[in-house]
Amino acid sequence: MADYVQPTVDVPALTTLLDGEYAAVRDTVRKHLAQHAGIVVDEQTMGRDEFRERVRDLVVEAADAGLTGYGFPKEYGGGGDVGASIAAFETLAFGDLSALVKFGVQFGLFGGAILQLGSERHHAAYLSDLISGRLMGCFAMTETGHGSNVQALGTTATYDAATQEFVITTPDRSARKDYIGNAARHAELAVVFAQLLPAPEAASEGVHAFVVPLRKKGLGKDGEPLPGVRIEDCGHKMGLSGVDNGRIWFDGVRVPREALLNRFADVTADGVYTSEIENPNRRFFTMLGTLVQGRVSVGGAGINAAKVALTIALRYAERRRQFETGAEEGDGEEEQLLLDYGMHQRRLLPLLARTYALHFAQEIVAGQLHDVLSGVTTEERDRRALESRAAGTKALGSWHATRTIQECREACGGAGYLSANRFAALKADTDVFTTFEGDNHVLLQLVAKGLLTDYSSEFSDLDQLGMVRFVAELAVETVIERTSVHKLFERVKDLLPGGDDWDQEAGLLDSNYQLAMLRYREEHMLAGVARRLKRGVDDGMKPGAVFSRVQDHVIGAARAHVERLVLEAFVAKVAKTEDGDNKVALGLLCDLYALSVIEADRGWFMEHGRLSSQRAKAITREVMDLCRKVRPLAVDLADAFGVPEELLQVELLETS
């Protein structure tokens, strides 16, 4: 690197690169956020009830500004562009996150369920009203007793052929709908997930979705629940105080037969259940697949919330001085800027690099979502790969938000603790991202299942125990063969020097080396999981016990897989960037991300013979060196995220 020349970041050009295809949509949303930046102050100063109304109004204002329809069909007033809707949602995450989540509940979950699970009659009845915010709804899936295991929901929808109605009932406390956003106050309708019984005493055909009125149109006093519906506020939450989460009980509420969202299954007037998807598990997972948009959205929102925190913390670190005057020792050194401290660089700059990496990974998954939902691709396998990728990016993106916001808060000291400096809300509001729209650990298990079954359509609807049996009995050889080390070596041997010693000889900053390391880790872990599953079953353990013992390896393999995908996305983006200083800067960040990932798991690489202790130490030195190179660019790199200045008017960045 003797010829290394420190680059200068062209901030607007980098913003354009980050914004990508939907730059215009993102800018429209930025303007909207700037106009309504006061919401982040309202969040701190208003009482809960007042703030909830403010947030509701803001959602309607977003509709007026044309931000809510991007993903819906044009015939109902939408834009017909799923990618645009994701870009809009991601960008909204720079602002208040109660407004974001309320927006997501209304247009993503409620609207998305109507759109994707319903048929023409539901679209015609609801879509244009819901896009405009005139019709507010909620998505009533989760129950107190069943969060992740949706197949076991307790709410029932029993068909009564005499009246051609479904009767919706909450049989016990554990089956009450819980944590339902928009339910406590504003939703007029609910999409309710319930066990469909074609007749009283019949067996359930599995979980299906129904449109159930909760309130008469209108709010306030007119908004009392309808007969048979009981609604309770979930009460105070850690964050997202502007979202009215509630609990719902149904006591024999009757809805017409047509209330069933019948894209994938229906019940005839005389009570015969029909579906084009014969396997009930498959049918269930197909319906659940409609959740994928929510996961892509939450992942992107987490990544963008992290950008806000980093922008504030990095700007602060470049103006705040701390220690040592050194005056009395007479050398006249003035207090150093926080960002000149090695530890401060170490704390923040790898997180900056990881934010860039996740941004580009998110861009890919959002593009895949667009292609699947728009019918650009109709391959079942693509849909399954998307589900897996959405799950993985959501998990890593939301954990990244939690970790980054925490580190940024601490890096701003006591000032970071004041709500006026935004970390309080960022932290409290994003906290739930790690467990809603799918618990992160459960999502990573989904990722692993896809890898272990190679997204094969016959097996992707397996539950965990089915997966254990399938891998142990049928797939173990396939997995081991597919992930075998010699195959990886074949793939890298033309890219890297050193032959079989590629991992010793390649340059640390060679992205082929970095990728080979992450691929090796992923494939080795995956094969290890397959072997362990088989061994457990062969030893006569119950599948549940086998899964429990192997669970942390399962999750580790999934995480390794997603980190590899993220690096691939970043490397590909750098490769496509035209030569110049911005490419150099992105290259530094990409190396910093890759080597930070390897460094963090260097114990594993050493255990598995892929890293000598000398080389491990060299990686740590390189990470430090990269931090020093990124340091002068750091604030520009954060500014390129394009968080509206109006949302960065925080106390700790005021000049005295």
Give the footprint of a second copy on residues 537-576 (CB under 8 A): 542-544, 548-552, 555
Give the shortest CB-466-to-a second copy separation in angstroms. Answer: 7
Paired sense of beta strands 246-256 and 177-180, if any:
antiparallel
Write out the binding residues for a second copy, residues 582-601 only, by CB under 8 A.
Answer: 599, 601
CB of 555 to a second copy, least distance (A): 6
* Residue of the chain from 1, 222, 236, 494 that contacts a second copy (CB under 8 A): 236
Q: Least distance to a second copy from the beta carbon of 460, Å?
A: 16
Residue 625 near a second copy by CB under 8 A: no
Q: Interface with a second copy by CB under 8 A: which range of 79-87, 125-133, 569-577, 608-616?
A: 608-616
Shortest reach from residue 423's CB to a second copy, in Å = 7
- Which parts of 473-532 interact with a second copy (CB under 8 A)? none
In the three-class reduction of DSSP (H, G, I as helix; E, B as strand; rest coil), residue 116 is classed as helix
Smallest distance from a second copy to CB 47, Å? 7
Quote the least distance from Cβ 632 to a second copy, whole Å: 14
In whole angstroms, the minimum distance from the beta carbon of 104 to a second copy comes to: 15
CB of 329 to a second copy, least distance (A): 7
Note whether 616 binds a second copy by CB under 8 A.
Answer: yes
The answer to the question of residue 435 lying near a second copy (CB under 8 A) is yes
C-alpha to C-alpha distance for 217 and 169, rounded to whole angstroms:
22
Q: What is the dihedral of CA 328, 330, 334, 336, to 10 degrees?
A: -80
Q: Which residue, 166, 220, 386, 191, is CA-closest to 292?
A: 386
Q: Cβ of residue 464: shortest distance to a second copy, in angstroms?
A: 5
Kindly tell me which of 463 and 481 has the beta carbon lying closer to a second copy.
463
Closest to a second copy by CB, 274 or 612: 612
Residue placing its CB nearer to a second copy in the complex, 381 or 617? 617
Minimal distance in Å, beta carbon 362 to a second copy?
21
Q: What are phi and psi of 3, to 5 degrees?
A: -95, 15
> What part of residues 340-369 is at the interface with a second copy (CB under 8 A)?
340-343, 346
Q: Which of residues 101-120 bind a second copy (CB under 8 A)?
A: none
Least separation in angstroms between residue 420's CB and a second copy is 6
Residue 502, helix vs strand vs coil: helix
H or E element in which residue 604 lies: helix 602-607
In 3D space, the residue among 561, 385, 558, 560 whose CA is nearest the CA of residue 460 turns out to be: 385
Cβ-count burial of 414 within 10 angstroms (0-12 exposed, 13-18 middle, 19+ buried)? exposed
Which residue number, 177 or 186, has a Cβ lying nearer to a second copy? 177
Residue 651: phi and psi, rounded to 5, are -55, -45
Q: Tell me the DSSP string of 314-354.
A: HHHHTT-EES---GGGTS-PPPEEGGGSHHHHHHHHHHHHH
Length of the chain: 656
- Each residue 188-227 as x (binds a second copy by CB under 8 A) or -, in order, gives ----------------------------------------
What would the x/- binding string for a second copy be over residues 145 to 164, using CB under 8 A?
A: x-xxx--x------------
Q: What token pair was written down for 297?
A: 């959205």
Nearest to residue 554, comparing CAs of 539, 577, 536?
536
Tokens of 188: 């007029």
Instruction: Confirm or reject binding of residue 402 to a second copy (CB under 8 A).
Output: yes
Chain-centroid distance, C-alpha 346: 26
Which residues touch 308 (CB under 8 Å, ≥6 apart)?
93, 94, 422, 426, 643, 647, 648
- Determine, following the binding rule CB under 8 A, whether residue 371 of this chain makes contact with a second copy: no
Instruction: Decide if residue 431 touches a second copy (CB under 8 A).
Output: yes
Does residue 238 belong to the site contacting a second copy (CB under 8 A)? yes
Closest CA to 59 of 68, 50, 47, 70: 68
State which residue, 164 or 174, has the beta carbon closest to a second copy. 174
Restricted to residues 247-306, the positions that interact with a second copy (CB under 8 A) are none
Are 249 and 230 in contact by the 8 Å Cβ rule? The answer is: yes
Task: Verify binding: residue 331, a second copy, rule CB under 8 A.
Answer: yes
C-alpha dist (Å) from residue 433 to 101, 322, 403, 407: 10, 34, 12, 17
Q: 87 or 444, CB closer to a second copy?
A: 444
Instruction: Report the nearest approach of a second copy to the CB of residue 267 (Å).
Output: 22
> Is residue 602 a contact residue for a second copy (CB under 8 A)?
yes
Does position 173 interact with a second copy (CB under 8 A)? The reply is: yes
Residues of span 4-63 touching a second copy by CB under 8 A = 44-45, 47
Q: Which residue has the tokens 């700037």?
A: 34
Residues 6+ apart with CB under 8 A from 499: 493
Q: With CA atoms as reference, report the closest residue to 588 among 554, 640, 627, 540.
A: 627
Determine which residue in the list 215, 409, 519, 573 makes contact with a second copy, applying CB under 8 A.
Answer: 409
Secondary element (H or E) of residue 130:
helix 120-132
| Residue owning tokens 């009767």 | 167
- Token pair, residue 389, equals 């990728």
- End-to-end CA separation in angstroms for the chain: 41
From 420, 509, 541, 653, residue interacting with a second copy (rule: CB under 8 A):
420
- Find tokens 């004041």 and name the residue: 418
CA distance to 57, 405, 558, 569, per residue, from 322 (Å): 43, 21, 41, 38
User: Angle between the 511-538 and 485-492 helix axes, to the nearest 10 degrees?
Assistant: 170
Comparing CB distances to a second copy, the nearer of 268 and 548 is 548
How many residues sit in the footprint of a second copy (CB under 8 A)? Answer: 86
User: Residue 541 carries which DSSP code?
Assistant: -
> Looking at beta carbons only, is 24 or 465 nearer to a second copy?
465
Which residue, 464 or 511, has its beta carbon nearer to a second copy? 464
- Which of the ranges 49-57, 77-85, 87-95, 536-544 carries the binding residues for a second copy, by CB under 8 A? 536-544
Specify the stretch interacting with a second copy by CB under 8 A; choose among 116-124, 138-146, 285-293, 485-493. Answer: 138-146
DSSP SS3 for 614: helix
Chain centre distance of CA 441: 13
Q: Which stretch binds a second copy (CB under 8 A): 223-231, 332-340, 358-366, 475-483?
A: 332-340
649 near a second copy (CB under 8 A): no
For residues 132 and 148, which CB has a smaller minimum distance to a second copy in the complex?
Answer: 148
| Nearest-approach distance from CB 285 to a second copy, in angstroms | 14
User: Which of 23-31, 68-76, 233-241, 300-308 is the region at the interface with a second copy (rule: CB under 8 A)?
Assistant: 233-241
